[in-house]
Structure 1
Amino acid sequence: MFIAHAVVGILLAVALSASAVAMATRNATIAANMTKLGVPDSWLPRLASLKAAGAVGLVVGLWIPFIGAAAAIGVVLYFLGAVYYHVKAKDYVIAPPAVFVVLAVAALITRLATA
């Protein structure tokens, strides 16, 4: 089960890292999407930092289980918030944040199963 957790955790950490970099550098597509959702521009660095912290926590969590579980919980909550903002803005393109939720739940379940 640890191998499954490592694969899911690393995959999620890489995707979070890429997303954090795109958000921190204010990628035009992401910035436009955030504006459409009503997210203030001033939130982008904080949101990028949360994604980066989640990625670091997932990787560290390979060796320190409670950090990995905490990071996975944080990522689930972050992307549930993203889904909420999409629905609130009547933007039903929720597949990207929903995929992150599913991956984070899988990381959490596999982390708890290996602890």
Structure 2
Amino acid sequence: MFAAYLVVTLLAAAVVGLAAVANLIGHEYPKKQADRMRLPRWWTLPLGTLLAAGALGLLAGLAVPVLGRLAAAGLVLYFLVAFGVHLRVRDRHLGVVSAFFCLAAAALVVNLAYH
């Protein structure tokens, strides 16, 4: 069980961390997504900060399990809101947000199962 916990947590932290970096450095993809979702582009910085906090929280959860649980739960909520934002503007391209949501949910499930 520890191997699954470790692999899922590290994978989720890496993927969410890369998304955070893309937001924080001003990559074009998050900017285009903000435009499609009718959000101000300046929101990419706070959203990237939330993603970075989630990724770091998942990693910190390897040492302090409650931090990992809280980070994974926060990321699940983050991506649930992202689903809502996509549906609000009638955007049906939900593949990326679905993958991120599933990774966050898997990280939460394996954390709860392992601890």
Query: What is the TM-score with the length of structure 2 in the denominator?
Result: 0.95
- The CA distance in 1 between the partners of 2:5 and 2:78, in whole Å, is 20
- The CA distance in 1 between the partners of 2:15 and 2:97, in whole Å, is 11
Q: CA deviation at 1:35?
A: 1.0
Q: CA deviation at 1:25?
A: 1.7
Paired residue for 1:25?
A: 25
How many residues get paired? 115
- The CA distance in 2 between the partners of 1:66 and 1:29, in whole Å, is 32
> Which one-letter code corresponds to 1:2 in the other structure?
F
> Which one-letter code corresponds to 1:69 in the other structure?
R
Q: Identity percentage over the alignment?
A: 37
- The CA distance in 2 between the partners of 1:44 and 1:61, in whole Å, is 25
- The CA distance in 1 between the partners of 2:67 and 2:30, in whole Å, is 28
| Stretches of structure 2 lacking an aligned partner (at least 5 in a row) | none
Counterparts of residues 1-115 of structure 1 (less than 5 Å): 1-115=1-115
Query: What is the TM-score with the length of structure 1 in the denominator?
Result: 0.95
Give the match's secondary structure for 1:63: coil
Q: Does the 8 A contact of 1:20 with 1:49 survive in 2?
A: yes
Runs of 4+ in structure 1 over 2 Å off: none
